[in-house]
Amino acid sequence: MIMKKKNTRMRSKIKIRKHISGTLNIPRLTVYRSLTNIYAQLIDDSVGKTLASASSLSKEVSEELKGSKSKIARSKIVGNLLAKKALEKKISTIVFDRNGYKYHGRVQALADGAREGGLKF
């Protein structure tokens, strides 16, 4: 059952990546979620470089994360942090790559946090 879920996500991921790629002006925001944490990166695919990253393990948001009770609230905080880092580098428009995950729950919360932080999808 677990392998079937993983294979389904990988097939979905490949289909998404055929259509989405990031540039220096409009990078790709990719999401990875584990059981307990969530990670987000802004990637320039033309050179294969990570421009900014944030995760629920980041020291910058450790105080805020202690106050949040749910994983969804943590995801929203991580999205907000990534938006701040992107705006510091003068990036305001991005392409969202959900990485094969459903746009629901923690992935959606991260996207909403990034939008609240000032990023445009």
pLDDT at residue 1 tops 80: no
List Cα–Cα distances, 41 to 4, 7, 31, 69, 86, in angstroms. Answer: 26, 23, 7, 24, 10
Mean pLDDT of the chain: 92
User: Tokens standing for 95?
Assistant: 């392409």
pLDDT at 91: 93
pLDDT at 115: 96
The residue assigned the tokens 């990570």 is: 50
The 10s digit of each residue's pLDDT in 25-79 is 899 999 999 999 999 999 999 999 999 999 999 998 888 888 888 999 999 999 9
Residue 8 is inside which H or E element, if any? helix 2-19
Q: Which domains does the chain have, with CATH numbers?
A: 2-117 (3.30.420.100)
pLDDT at residue 102 tops 80: yes
pTM of the model: 0.89
* Amino acid present at 52: A
